[in-house]
Amino acid sequence: MLKIKLKGRGVVEGFGKGEALVAKSPISFLGGVNPLSGLITDKNHELYGETITGKVLVFPFGKGSTVGSYTLYALSKYGTKPAAIINIETEPIIVVGCVIGKIPLVDKLEKNPIEVIKNGDLVEVYGERGVVIIHKTNNCETNLNCKI
């Protein structure tokens, strides 16, 4: 299994490990994620119907109301939170939600995480150090068409 280590900015401390769930579009937590189930409920989002519970959630940045911070907190309270969040560049709604929900958060990685991380990869996030370790589920060493 190929292992890739990326360095970025550690935003919220903590360690999270889980299967990657990757979105190319921003996520609005208020109205877009059900905190009781951890399901993405925004019918217009590419991850509609997927659960974020225990996953390393990778997306460009958050969008929507500041109440999204409290949705992240509620996910933590109900035991449905993601293991960690990786953004291309985060913003205050996601940061506050991750702080109060105790969700590790990293952004500004040296490579675009949406291009490097694929759904199903096993990902470790070290929030305080800004380090992400990706265990590729598709072994790129033997796949000539694999892009990292």
The residues annotated as belonging to the active site are 65
Q: Of the candidates 21, 40, 22, which has an alpha carbon nearest to the alpha carbon of residue 31?
A: 40
Rounded to whole angstroms, the Cα distance separating 65 from 36 reads: 19
Contact 12, 104 (CB under 8 A): yes
Q: Locate 66 and state its tokens.
A: 């500041």
Token pair 């659960």: residue: 51
The amino acid at residue 30 is L
